[in-house]
């Protein structure tokens, strides 16, 4: 297993991490994932890297066979979800590059933007087929080489260090000799890793590993009955392989587990406890516990919440009066209200001096606002003489001559409704003289 410090790991690219793996001794196993969850499980299991499987993504995303149905856009979109879910490098299956060398350049650049550490490109025609199924055909030698050269150019143009894995399917489509020739040509064209799919014997695998000995080799251990012999990691290392993919393990066991679970449910049972993780284990795998711990860093106290609510209240009210608190205790929306008592009372006759507006401080204005949803948003009382400040509390009252309304009602008993209207957002605003 390749290790580096946490700080160093954050500072290196996914491609650099993959190149460190290629430079390290031994053979390195990489299970193939098909979505973010399966990639996360690969990482939690302790693997240094993983592959994406076009076969499995086509199955999981489309429910269709790997016969060319899935598109570049679907593959790169799924790939981005996978790379963002893990910190280990991911090698992406890019099929045949989805077209000619110009399409290959676009594909490589898209995979780089999606966060892939490596990309696998093959020499099949379109529509392509799974490497261990029938009716495979490959493009000419010249076009196959140009695809790899286009991939190298795309890497250089973007300043990336993505690892290019060149795959040939010519062993089954043409011959062993043709596949060996193409592997050598791909290495000469700039491929970082070469890969012959569906080699039929240990001897063929050994012959492949002797081609371009300085270029790492990749093996594909197709579980369940492919054309290539299933060898242990130790055996593969002895032959000279550096990377080994297990393309169907996760998809295969997932299919069987779902089938068994569905059979149990249909039979009136649930899957037995040993066949699935507990709910607590599922939450841990998905990161709920990590989320809860991180959430604490951004927790807001009740005092902070009150201040935030007050500062964001459209009517500028900051604290409610004790009298108002009791009346509004059942309201679902409960802004904090403060009666503002300015130091300028005396200028309005609050000191009981005689004047044209004297005595008004003995009266109270009640401002009540009801939202469009029927919930009370504000119910506050202020000294009737505090006219300059009322529009700070209720901007919708700007332009209303409250003083004139007060003059007209000065001699009337309390409880008179002075105003009743809807503002521009649909809230009902009522002003009473008490």
**What are the pLDDT digits (tens) for 105-132?**
999 999 999 999 999 999 999 887 765 5
Cα separation, 126 vs 139, whole angstroms: 9
Q: Is the pLDDT of residue 76 over 60?
A: yes
For 20-59, letters b (16+ CB in 10 Å) and e give: ebbeeeebbbbbbbbbbbbbbbbbeeebbbbbbbbbbbbb
Task: Count CB-CB contacts under 10 A for residue 327.
Answer: 12
CA-based nearest residue to 18, from 86, 73, 104 = 86
**What are the pLDDT digits (tens) for 2-35?**
665 555 566 799 999 999 999 999 999 999 999 9
Confidence (pLDDT) at 115: 98
**Regarding predicted confidence, which is higher, 25 or 415?**
25
> Can you list the pairs that 142-146 forms with residues at least 24 positions away whose Cβ atoms lie under 8 Å?
143/100, 143/101, 144/168, 144/182, 144/185, 144/186, 145/185, 145/186, 145/189, 146/101
Q: Is the pLDDT of residue 89 over 50?
A: yes
Q: Is the pLDDT of residue 324 over 90?
A: no
Conformational region of residue 428, where left means phi above 0, alpha means psi within -120 to 50, and beta covers everything else = beta
- Which of 214-228, 272-286, 321-335 is the least confident region? 321-335
Confidence (pLDDT) at 117: 98
Cα separation, 318 vs 335, whole angstroms: 8
Strands (E), 218-320: 218-220, 243-246
Looking at the chain, the whole-number percentage of residues with pLDDT higher than 70 is 77
Highest mean pLDDT among 125-139, 191-205, 287-301, 331-345: 191-205
pLDDT, average across residues 71-75:
96
- Which of 12-16, 99-103, 416-420 is the least confident region? 416-420
**Regarding predicted confidence, which is higher, 76 or 405?**
76
Q: Is the pLDDT of residue 134 over 70?
A: no
Confidence (pLDDT) at 251: 97
Cα separation, 201 vs 227, whole angstroms: 8
Task: Give me the sheet containing 218-220, strands edge to edge.
Answer: 193-196, 163-168, 118-122, 90-93, 50-52, 28-33, 243-246, 218-220
Confidence (pLDDT) at 165: 98
pLDDT, average across residues 406-412:
68
Q: Is the pLDDT of residue 389 over 90?
A: no
Which residue do the tokens 């063929």 mark? 204
Confidence (pLDDT) at 354: 46
Task: Count CB-CB contacts under 10 A for residue 309.
Answer: 14
Q: Is the pLDDT of residue 318 over 60?
A: no
**Regarding predicted confidence, which is higher, 181 or 379?**
181
Tell me the three-class secondary structure of 60-121, residue by residue: HHHCCCCCCCCCHHHHHHHHHHHHHHCCCCEEEECCCCCCCHHHHHHHHHHHHHCCCCEEEE
What is the total residue count of the chain?
Answer: 434
Q: Is the pLDDT of residue 281 over 70?
A: yes
CA-based nearest residue to 216, from 150, 164, 144, 138 = 164
Asked if residue 235 lies in contact with residue 206, where contact means CB atoms within 8 angstroms, the answer is: no
Asked if residue 92 lies in contact with residue 114, where contact means CB atoms within 8 angstroms, the answer is: yes
Cα separation, 145 vs 140, whole angstroms: 9
Confidence (pLDDT) at 219: 98
Output the pTM of the full model: 0.69
Confidence (pLDDT) at 320: 46
Confidence (pLDDT) at 347: 43
36-44 and 249-266 are packed helices; what angle lies between their axes, rounded to 10 degrees? 110
Q: Is the pLDDT of residue 362 over 80?
A: no
Residue 30 backbone phi and psi in degrees, to 5? -135, 100
CA-based nearest residue to 165, from 128, 196, 203, 205 = 196
Looking at the chain, the whole-number percentage of residues with pLDDT higher than 90 is 61
Highest mean pLDDT among 3-17, 76-90, 275-289: 76-90
Structure tokens that stand for 138 in this block? 């490959």
Q: For the chain, give the mean pLDDT.
A: 85
Cα separation, 79 vs 180, whole angstroms: 30
pLDDT-derived band at 417, boundaries 50, 70, 90: confident
Confidence (pLDDT) at 374: 83
Q: Is the pLDDT of residue 314 over 70?
A: no
Cα separation, 397 vs 421, whole angstroms: 10
pLDDT, average across residues 300-326:
54
Q: Is the pLDDT of residue 289 over 60?
A: yes
């Amino acid at each position: 297993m390749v290790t580096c410090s946490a700080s160093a790991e954050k500072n290196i690219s996914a491609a650099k991490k993959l190149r460190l793996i290629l430079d390290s001794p031994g053979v390195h196993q990489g299970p193939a994932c098909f979505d973010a969850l399966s990639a996360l499980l690969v990482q939690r299991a302790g693997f240094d890297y993983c592959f994406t499987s076009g076969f499995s993504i086509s199955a999981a995303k489309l429910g269709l066979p790997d016969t060319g149905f899935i598109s570049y856009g679907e593959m790169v979109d799924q790939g981005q979800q996978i790379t963002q879910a893990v910190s280990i490098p991911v090698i992406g299956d890019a099929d045949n590059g989805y077209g000619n060398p110009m399409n290959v350049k676009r594909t490589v650049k898209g995979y780089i933007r999606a966060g892939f550490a490596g990309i696998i490109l093959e020499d099949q025609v379109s529509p392509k087929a799974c490497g261990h199924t029938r009716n495979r055909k490959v493009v000419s030698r010249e076009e196959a080489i140009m695809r790899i050269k286009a991939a190298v150019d795309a890497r250089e143009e973007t300043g990336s260090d993505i690892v290019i894995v060149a795959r040939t399917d010519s062993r089954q489509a043409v011959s062993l000799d043709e596949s060996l020739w193409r592997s050598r040509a791909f290495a000469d064209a700039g491929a970082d890793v070469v890969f012959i799919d569906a080699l039929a014997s240990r001897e063929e695998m050994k012959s492949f590993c002797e081609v371009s000995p300085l270029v790492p080799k990749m093996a594909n251990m197709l579980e369940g009955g492919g054309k290539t012999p299933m060898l242990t990691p130790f055996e593969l290392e002895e032959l000279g392989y550096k990377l080994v993919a297990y393309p169907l393990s996760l998809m295969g066991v997932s299919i069987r587990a779902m089938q068994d679970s569905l059979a149990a449910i249909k039979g009136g049972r649930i899957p037995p406890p040993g066949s699935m993780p507990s709910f607590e284990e599922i939450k841990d795998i998905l990161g709920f516990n990590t989320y809860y711990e991180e959430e604490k860093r951004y927790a807001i106290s009740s005092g902070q919440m009150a201040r935030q609510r007050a500062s964001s209240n459209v009517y500028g009210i900051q604290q409610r009066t004790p009298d108002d608190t009791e009346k509004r205790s059942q309201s679902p929306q409960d802004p904090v209200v403060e009666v503002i008592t300015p130091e300028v009372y005396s200028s309005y006759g609050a000191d009981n001096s005689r004047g044209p507006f004297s005595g008004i401080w003995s009266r109270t204005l009640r401002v009540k606002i009801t939202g469009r949803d029927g919930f009370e948003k504000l119910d506050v009382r202020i000294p009737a003489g505090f006219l300059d400040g009322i529009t700070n509390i209720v901007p919708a009252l700007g332009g209303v001559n409250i003083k004139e309304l007060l003059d007209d009602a000065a001699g009337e008993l309390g409880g008179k409704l002075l105003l009743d209207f809807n503002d521009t957002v649909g809230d009902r605003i009522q002003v009473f003289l008490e």
